[in-house]
């Protein structure tokens, strides 16, 4: 069986306040943070864990997050930089449906998309404080249209979107979706959040927390972000990831930490 390869795809950066990164702890002030996706070349196919944000969406809906994204940092540009083609990706796994984790899904129409069943339900009827997080519904045109209808908006016809309904596979519980690829339930940040553990032949396992931990300091000190559905569950999820990291001697990859990101190997380099 061929060895699994892992590519970290740089998706550009955004800005939020320090009190959002470290809920009720801070310090306040602008924090620029990275957004990235993970491409896994596995014997069973090409998997993409998260798809980053869509620049136009952020500029239209959340311009205060000051997106910086080059063409190479769009999902298509980043996949190409890793040496692959967007249309060859077989599976898109969304850790959750916040706009900075699913903005590129619409460019991966051939892929089967995988997410937690609870997440799929929640993003359709979010709590008032989750509305901006779930503002980009382009990953599912039918849901996008329903949302526009609820909001009394008229969506102009879009030939790109109107012909497409994604193949969605909903999961619950811990799942080994392919040999050595484990989805770990880490709710709290959102209703149905998944982190990802990847076992590799030549190095220690990689544990991608996704938004269960934005930063290394948040992970170590169990400080969650202010964007969450259930803060107690979010802290429990960090503890669960700590246990798993210990048990598997895994290396932690947090989601939104510029300093940590600088130490990651990004595509075209890979881990194997």
Q: Which residue is nearest to Zn ion (CB)?
A: 98
CB of 168 to Zn ion, least distance (A): 19
Decide if residue 257 touches Zn ion (CB under 5 A). no
Site for Zn ion in 70-99 (CB under 5 A): 98
Nearer to Zn ion, 253 or 271 (CB): 253
CB of 249 to Zn ion, least distance (A): 27
Cα pseudo-dihedral 166, 271, 179, 181, rounded to 10: -50
Angle, in degrees to the nearest 10, between helices 141-150 and 117-124: 30
Size of interface with Zn ion, in residues (CB under 5 A): 2
Nearer to Zn ion, 102 or 198 (CB): 102
Reported as half-sphere exposure (CB side, CA atoms, 13 A), residue 58 has a value of 24
Closest CA to 223 of 16, 35, 26: 26
Q: Measure the CA–CA gap between 242 and 199, rounded to whole angstroms.
A: 16
Nearer to Zn ion, 211 or 257 (CB): 211
CB of 136 to Zn ion, least distance (A): 12
Q: 100 an active-site residue?
A: yes
Nearer to Zn ion, 66 or 81 (CB): 66
The 97-136 site mask, x for binding Zn ion (CB under 5 A), equals -x--------------------------------------
Q: Where are the beta strands (DSSP E) in the chain?
A: 5-17, 30-42, 45-49, 91-93, 112-116, 167-171, 175-178, 181-185, 194-198, 206-210, 251-254
Nearer to Zn ion, 57 or 98 (CB): 98
CB of 99 to Zn ion, least distance (A): 8
Decide if residue 256 touches Zn ion (CB under 5 A). no
Q: What angle do CA 133, 134, 138 make, to 5 degrees?
A: 130
CA 178 to chain centre: 19
CB of 77 to Zn ion, least distance (A): 22
Decide if residue 211 touches Zn ion (CB under 5 A). yes
Catalytic annotation, pick one of 10, 100, 136, 211: 100
Q: Which ranges constitute the DSSP H helices of 125-252?
A: 141-150, 159-162, 216-221, 231-248
Q: Tokens 């039918």: give the residue.
A: 142
Residues acting as catalytic residues: 100
- Give the binding site for Zn ion (CB under 5 A): 98, 211
């Amino acid at each position: 069986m061929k060895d699994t390869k892992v590519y970290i795809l740089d998706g550009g950066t955004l800005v939020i306040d320090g009190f959002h990164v470290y809920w009720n702890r801070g310090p306040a002030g602008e924090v620029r943070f990275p957004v990235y996706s993970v491409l896994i070349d596995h014997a069973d196919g090409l998997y993409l864990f998260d798809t980053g944000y869509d620049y136009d969406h952020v500029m239209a809906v959340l311009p205060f997050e000051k997106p910086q994204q080059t063409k190479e940092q769009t999902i298509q540009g980043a996949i190409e930089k890793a040496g692959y083609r967007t249309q060859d990706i077989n599976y898109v796994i969304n850790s959750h449906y916040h706009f900075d984790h699913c903005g590129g899904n619409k460019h991966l129409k051939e892929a089967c998309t995988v997410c937690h069943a609870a997440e799929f339900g929640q993003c359709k009827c979010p709590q008032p404080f989750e509305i901006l997080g779930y503002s980009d519904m382009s990953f599912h045109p039918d849901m996008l249209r329903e949302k526009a209808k609820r909001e009394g908006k008229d969506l102009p016809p879009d030939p790109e979107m109107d012909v497409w309904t994604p193949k969605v596979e909903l999961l619950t519980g811990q799942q080994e979706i392919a040999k050595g690829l484990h989805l770990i339930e880490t709710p709290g940040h959102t209703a149905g959040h998944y982190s990802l553990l990847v076992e590799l032949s030549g190095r220690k396992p990689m544990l991608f927390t996704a938004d269960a931990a934005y930063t290394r300091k948040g992970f170590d000190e169990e400080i969650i972000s202010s964007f969450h559905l259930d803060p107690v569950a979010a802290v429990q999820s960090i503890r669960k990831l700590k246990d798993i990291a210990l048990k598997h001697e895994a290396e932690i990859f947090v989601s939104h930490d510029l300093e940590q990101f600088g130490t990651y190997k990004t595509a075209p380099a890979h881990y194997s």
